[in-house]
């Protein structure tokens, strides 16, 4: 059986949770088994996970106000043991990353982080992931009875394959927390970068933080999340959580606008899995053009407002 932990921060399932369940169902099909979704704590309409392929949804009840990786890992591992799960899947989110290693230890399991392909199961359980900043693909064989995977965001879109199912409750058997979460500050209103399908990103070519209005406006008009290059975050023009690249957030949106960013290898490392890349840069020799699907060689202060106007007209005509 394949067990998927479906994250439900603030009682809501994000797209990534639906992706994980969709992927879990596909893994289960490949293995000739079923997929169960595990929800921890409060979650609105957990039965909807059935639509995405879970034949069973189990909700571990208890007071889980804030995510605590030690407590959650114990709950997931206990559930996996009780249900006899052969594969456990979490998202490759910040929560999932902190669960993966703990789950592997608790379940005596081999684990692979950030997988982006379906496993092959004939002649060994093998999965693939990108390595060396997306420049190569590695294949791993997991040899243990239980396997733990974290799924890279935007690798498998949520796909409906069934109908809502009844939600079963289970006793979470949660251990006492060893830490207390004192405060959580979240950035509301935008899709987090690892989940964003559209990203508008800008770099040092913007000349200063006072010029970011045109980036925010373009992002608003297309419904994108904003990002930036590292130096821009380092000098305080933008918040650090927007920094993408080797040392920042790794993303794989459907569309990535790189505006006034040179395309240094360390930046590309975090964005080159984007499905379509549009580069706006006034230097024809900018390395980013080599990675671009579409390139505009022009002054960004001229092009970006025109692009925004064109999107506004397009939206109005819809």
Please give the structure tokens belonging to residue 243: 């920094």
Pick from 140, 300, 307, 308 the residue near ligand FAD by CB under 6 A: 300
The structure tokens 């939600």 sit at 167
* Dihedral, CA of residue 9, residue 12, residue 14 and residue 15, to nearest 10: 160
Window 210-269: residues binding ligand FAD (CB under 6 A): 229-232, 245-248, 260-262, 264, 266-267
Counting Cβ atoms within 10 Å, is residue 109 exposed (0-12), middle (13-18) or buried (19+)? Answer: buried
- The least distance separating ligand FAD from the CB of residue 79, rounded to whole angstroms, comes to 36
Phi, psi dihedrals of residue 130, rounded to the nearest 5°: -80, 140
Using the contact rule CB under 6 A, the part of the chain among 29-37, 64-72, 159-167, 277-285 near ligand FAD is 277-285
For ligand FAD, the closer CB: 102 or 238: 238
- The least distance separating ligand FAD from the CB of residue 197, rounded to whole angstroms, comes to 21
- The least distance separating ligand FAD from the CB of residue 258, rounded to whole angstroms, comes to 8
For ligand FAD, the closer CB: 18 or 280: 280
Using the contact rule CB under 6 A, the part of the chain among 9-17, 22-30, 84-92, 293-301 near ligand FAD is 293-301
Q: Residue 301 interacts with ligand FAD (CB under 6 A)?
A: yes
* Dihedral of alpha carbons 212, 215, 220, 226, sign: negative
For ligand FAD, the closer CB: 161 or 246: 246
For ligand FAD, the closer CB: 25 or 238: 238
Window 178-217: residues binding ligand FAD (CB under 6 A): 203-205
Q: What is the binding site for ligand FAD (CB under 6 A)?
A: 203-205, 229-232, 245-248, 260-262, 264, 266-267, 270, 280-283, 286, 299-301
């Amino acid at each position: 059986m394949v067990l998927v932990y479906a994250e439900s921060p603030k009682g809501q399932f994000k797209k990534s949770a639906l992706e994980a369940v969709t992927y879990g169902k596909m893994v289960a099909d490949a293995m000739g088994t079923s997929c169960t979704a595990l929800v921890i704590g409060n979650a609105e309409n957990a039965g909807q996970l059935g639509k995405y392929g879970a034949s069973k949804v189990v909700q571990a009840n208890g007071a889980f106000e804030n995510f605590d990786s030690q407590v959650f890992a114990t709950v997931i591992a206990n559930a996996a043991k009780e249900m006899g799960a052969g594969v456990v899947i979490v998202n490759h989110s910040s929560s999932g990353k902190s669960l993966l290693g703990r789950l592997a230890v608790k379940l005596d399991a081999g684990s692979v982080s950030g997988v982006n392909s379906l496993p092959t199961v004939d002649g060994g359980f093998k999965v693939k992931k990108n390595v060396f900043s997306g420049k190569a693909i590695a294949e791993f064989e997991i040899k243990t009875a239980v396997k733990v995977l974290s799924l890279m965001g935007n690798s498998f879109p949520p796909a409906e394959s069934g109908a809502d199912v009844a939600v079963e409750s289970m006793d979470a058997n949660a251990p006492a927390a060893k830490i207390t979460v004192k405060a959580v500050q979240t950035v509301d209103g935008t899709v987090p970068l690892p989940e964003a399908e559209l990203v508008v990103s800008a770099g040092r070519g913007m000349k200063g933080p006072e010029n970011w209005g045109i980036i925010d406006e373009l992002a608003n008009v297309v419904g994108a999340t904003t990002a930036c290059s590292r130096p821009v975050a380092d000098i305080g023009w933008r918040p650090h959580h927007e920094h993408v690249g080797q040392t920042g957030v790794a993303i794989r949106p459907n569309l990535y606008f790189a505006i006034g960013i040179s395309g240094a290898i360390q930046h590309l490392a975090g964005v080159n899995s984007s499905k379509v890349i549009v580069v706006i840069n006034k230097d024809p020799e900018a390395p980013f053009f080599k990675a671009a699907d579409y390139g505009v060689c022009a002054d960004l202060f001229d092009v970006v407002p025109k692009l925004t106007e064109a999107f506004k007209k397009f939206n109005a005509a819809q």
